[in-house]
Amino acid sequence: MTSTTAPGSVLVTIGTGKPSFDGVVAVARHEVPVALSDEAVAAIERARTVIEQLASDTVPHYGVSTGFGALANRHIPHDMRAQLQRSLVRSHAAGSGPEVEREVVRATMLLRLSTLATGHTGVRRETAQAYADLLNSGLTPVVHEYGSLGCSGDLAPLAHCALAVMGEGQVRDRDGELLDAGEALQQHGIVPVELREKEGLALINGTDGMLGMLVMAISDLRRLLVTADITAAMSVEGLMGSDDVFAADLQEIRPHPGQAASAANLRKLMADSAIRESHRDPHECTRVQDAYSLRCAPQVAGAVRDTVDHAASVAERELASAIDNPVVTRDGRVESNGNFHGAPVAYVLDFLAIATADLASISERRTDRFLDAARNHGLNPFLADDPGVDSGHMIAQYTQAAIVSELKRLANPASVDSIPSSAMQEDHVSMGWSAARKLRRSVDGLTRVLGIELLTAARGLDLRAPHAPSPAIAAVIAALREDVDGPGTDRYLAPEIEHAVQLVATGAAVTAAESVTGTLS
């Protein structure tokens, strides 16, 4: 799969090789169209030939001529096999709860299509093409929050997608209107698929939902990590901290790559700061060391970077995988396997939730220091205009603290749990879907925490006038000030927080800083 992430990209081609992170994001979020490559079509047709040969065999073959799960010991007659596949999808489309986000469903469908294109699942060409057509039409199956145990893959979410391809269930169009799937497919000229041997199983047996959410979380966290360096630099400046501790030779003594990258960013971001120069003289500034939340910023953000890189290596291997059971091998065998188990993905999803919570925690601690007159080195309590009459950013920190507390709860791993299912046939499950769902909430929470730190640090830095921050930080503050006024009497604060959050979420804060520093790591 090749693509760029730009919304105006022309096409993402689905081949037999590894999909790219950019390709997944482009299709899921920007609705870039997809197409099957000739290589993928050839691989699909080779595998289908194998399945059709087995379909006429008198020996039972799992998924082709047998029942599923605990019912795998029943041989299904030839004239019942289409019904077998339909029944599988219908019965497994058993999700409940709120609808899952559109981008998650699109990523799930794309990754299932990518697996179909490897030629290991045995589906027909028209079945794979129906997934591409559904993605390109902008129709999105309704998938619910609950229903996946992460083994055998994301069964219920994938079954809801397969149900829509059959012309059943519900979908939403690009405008969000809820439609009957059959009618919506007809309106878009898509012929509903009539499933044949093995196809129902091939459409629902994968880790695509949890993997799609992992890929998008990694994409988001990489942007947020640069933003976390920006807000940390703002806080170090605003709290009259030192950048000496970020020196390259000090980082080399402990050579974690993420730490070095974060410290390098902090050096770039704080370069030429008049505020920093104002307290560089040791005779005027008697502090020997800054608090941990300032001094150790690259150690924490760096560890998160290294965790994200580890998660990305797992995601890349999973993207290169063909998850199904049974699978069609290159030499024409059809073999049962356990590759659908979501443990590898579930573990790193949980690991990222832990790292995300800690990055948010250190951000909140820096915000809190700005508001405490005993620790903010000469600023008003709570950065209030008239303390007592005004509360300043007091309650903004409460909001941060509430989010951080929630992130700590979300850091409790889902993957340590397992509930046996399918009459003890599926007696150990990954809970990877649950891990992915809570990580999405964690990433959103971190975005909000960093937004509040940015908002608070900008106010603190403005209050240091006439001393000016570094040019890079000044550019970030200028971007914020396009929508949010500078220090003054108390105002309706929620809209200002939301503007700051959007500056973080859209990457505008990074763009502003990089207009001065160049590309940040």
What's the pLDDT score for residue 397?
A: 98
Q: Is 141:105 a contact under the CB 8 Å cutoff?
A: yes
Return the pLDDT at 2: 43
Structure confidence at residue 6 (pLDDT): 40
Domain residue ranges in the chain: 12-206, 214-319+346-517
Structural fold of domain 12-206: Fumarase C; Chain B, domain 1 (1.10.275)
| Pairing between β-strand 178-180 and β-strand 327-328 as defined by DSSP bridges | unpaired
Determine whether 398 is an active site residue.
no
Per the CB < 8 A criterion, the answer to whether 443 and 220 are in contact is yes
H or E element in which residue 410 lies: helix 394-410
What does DSSP assign to residue 385? Answer: S
Secondary structure (3-state) at 2: strand
Q: From the candidates 62, 292, 347, 492, which is the catalytic residue?
A: 62
Specify the pTM.
0.94
Q: What's the pLDDT at 288? A: 66
DSSP for 447-492? HHHHHHHHHHHHHHHHTTTTS---HHHHHHHHHHHTTS--S-S---
Top-level class of domain 214-319+346-517: mainly alpha
- pLDDT confidence of residue 200: 93
Bridge partners (DSSP) of residue 96 are: 146
pLDDT below 50 — which residues of the chain? 2-9
Residue 70 confidence (pLDDT): 62
